[in-house]
Structure 1
Amino acid sequence: MNFPRIGMRNIKTSTSVFLCLLLFEIFNRENALMACVAAVICMQNTVVDSFRKGTERIKGTFIGGIAGAFVLFIISSLGHENILIFIIPLGVIILIEICVSLELKNSVVICCVVYLGLLTSRQHENGYILYTINRILDTSVGIVIALLVNKYMNIPDNIKKLLKISKDTDRDAVDKGISDKDNI
């Protein structure tokens, strides 16, 4: 029976998620979701691609965070949280247009993820500003971890062969035109 070969990008992505979870456990932070999502989104086939996309995604994180904080400010000032159901989709449209107009197309996904994470969560007891800062920090941690793992994690070829990890899997996917999301 032939099992599919596991690519290095797959190994690096899961390692990044593990390190996010471990770091959050060590520092007793409540929710590693945003860091883990950012690590998965940021991992690319090469360190250069990860760095480029990571910097774009950090920009998207800030845009989504600022937009989310702005909406939370307005909602808390008005005291009508029930109108979020109408404001959230409108905000997604605006954020996509902002990212596209700033030539940050690769920032759209993380921008909207951060925005949605802020506005759909009901965990603003300590204030929306602190919550927003923490979500931006969490997302940025995931991006940085993915960048570091992609740059420094190398598995020796003999261990790859033993574990049937393909060093060529990621390169083959690029050559065949498989998109990033298909090759995780």
Structure 2
Amino acid sequence: MKKSMPRIGMRIIKTSIAAFLILLIFTAVGAKRSPFYVLITTIICIQPDIANTKDTAFNRAIGTLIGAVTGAVAMFLEMPVKGLPGGELWWDLLNAVMICITIYLTVLLGKQYIAFMACVAYLSVAVITHDGVSPYEFLFYRVVDTFLGVGIGSLVGSFHTHGKKRNDVLFVAELDDELRSAHRQISEFNKTALNHMIDEGALFTMITRQTPASLIAEVEHLKLRLPVIALDGAVLYDIYQNRYLHACLMEHDMGIRIRQLLTEQNRAFFTNVIVDDVWVIYYNDLVDEDQKGYLKKLRTSPYRNYMKRAPHDEDHILYFSVLDTHNRLIMLEKQLEEMGFAGKLKFLLEDHVFGEKSLLKILSIEASPRNMLDRLMKMLHVHHSIVYGDKDSETCCDVAVADSDFNRIVQNIRADYTGRKRKTRVSKKLEDIRN
């Protein structure tokens, strides 16, 4: 299979521009010292998105200052210490102590993760030979070069082109089939691309059949500032505030009757309830090894709360999940429909969820991606949306883009957001919306 060459992204271009500017400045002013530390700082500071660029620049500056201060103390004590009997040994001991102090200061300031930067700065001042240059002069320029690198890196890294961004459209990615084909992981490259777009102001969210607990594990480090539509439209969940903004609950009597049926048939099932923004999962006795293994696997999540007992009578049920063989679950669907629940329930069947067992989720028919997307758009005061993903999607108010490859989905979202795409049905629709 022939692999295409990766395109040159903005981070590479910005890094090259920043390096050129630094070399140009040093050449223009006729600086006799090396631009090495300025270049290193600048290259480190330029990150894939603006927020990380600012954080890295700030941390680099703080780390260098800590290392410079402890390095200055070491240089002040160097001559007296080396003048003692066995001075070299005492000097080595002093350096070890100062390194410990340098690390401790980063912890004291709540910046322990920059201890490496601070120690490198200290070593470059107190340990490395300076080829005849005064240690204090080297220290001064070490700090100046770092802040020059931080300034140029932050300036260039924070720059972005002001194209015709579509901040009036809600961009939605469906997150199921494409993740299964990619081992249920979003690549760091795609996270970076999406984060960069979100930092620019794009309205971006996701629709998934998964529960919020499963989704959170998959979107780590992705800046999902908008609520997500989970469980195929059953809940609208705010990841940052850990709140369920809306949930499509079952009719109370219907939930009781379904639970009675499952209990009478001695089925192992899970009853999912939301109580004060806490997802509680009640379960009964599990006798099958696959069922026990399934529970053991899921209950390790800090976002799931399992209780071995029946729910309270006043609890309103969000959905039931039943782990069994495929054929027995199909039979259960038919039984529920024959009980008069046809047109009132929604069934989500996932095959081979654990071992040979499949999983059936039983929800209210009101759990609809379209309904929940409409609700989210009203909350955001947005009138237009595009959904990327499932070819059978009917969740989009304006247009759906069919694609099962998450890499292409991210590329398409980015292109539609910036208006840099060839003329397609989507771009023409966006142009109609603009006009």
Question: By the TM > 0.5 criterion, same fold?
Answer: yes
2:136 paired residue number: 129
Give per-residue Cα distances to partners, 1:65-117, cap 9 Å, x unaligned.
Answer: 11111111111333468445444444333322211221123532322221121
TM-score, with structure 1 as normaliser: 0.73
Among 67, 70, 77, which residue is 1:67 paired with?
70
Report what 1:14 is aligned to.
Answer: 16
* Mapping of residues 1-184 of structure 1, within 5 Å: 2-27=4-29, 28-79=31-82, 82-83=88-89, 84-123=91-130, 125-152=132-159, 154=161, 170-171=192-193
Q: Is the Cα contact below 8 Å between 2:39 and 2:149 reproduced in 1? A: yes
**CA separation in 2, counterparts of 1:110 and 1:133?**
17
CA contact 2:66–2:118 (8 Å) conserved in 1: yes
- Corresponding pairs, count: 169
Higher helix proportion, which one?
1
Change (3 A) 1:114 1:20: farther
Letter in 1 for 2:15: T
For the residue of structure 1 that corresponds to 2:158, the secondary structure is helix
Any gaps of 5 or more consecutive residues in structure 2? 164-188, 197-217, 222-435
Contact map agreement 1:96 1:108 (CA 8 A) in 2: yes
Cα separation, 2, equivalents of 1:95 and 1:46: 29
Match of 1:160 in 2: none
- Report deviation, 1:124: 6.8
Determine the C-alpha separation between the residues in 1 that align with 2:127 and 2:160.
35
Structure having the higher Rg: 2
Q: Which amino acid aligns with 2:8?
A: I
Structure having greater relative contact order (Cα 8 Å, sep ≥ 6): 1
Q: CA contact under 8 A between 2:49 and 2:195: conserved in structure 1? A: no
Task: Tell me if the contact between 1:47 and 1:151 (Cα under 8 Å) persists in the aligned partners.
Answer: yes
How far apart are 1:48 and its partner, in Å? 2.7
How far apart are residue 63 of structure 1 and its match?
1.0
Across the aligned residues of Structure 1 and Structure 2, the Cα RMSD in angstroms comes to 3.2
More moved, 3-12 vs 31-40? 3-12
Q: Per residue, is there more strand in 1 or in 2?
A: 2
Separation in 2, partners of 1:49, 1:56 = 10
Structure 1 Cα separation of the partners of residues 162 and 36 of structure 2: 27
- For residue 395 of structure 2, what is the aligned residue in structure 1? none
Which deviations, in whole Å up to 9, do the C-alpha atoms of 1:139-172 show, x marking residues without a partner? 111111100111225498xxxxxxxxxx968426
C-alpha separation between the residues in 1 aligned to 2:16 and 2:220? Answer: 23
Question: Any idea what SS the aligned residue of 1:6 has?
Answer: coil
Tell me, in whole angstroms, the C-alpha distance in 2 between the residues paired with 1:105 and 1:15: 31
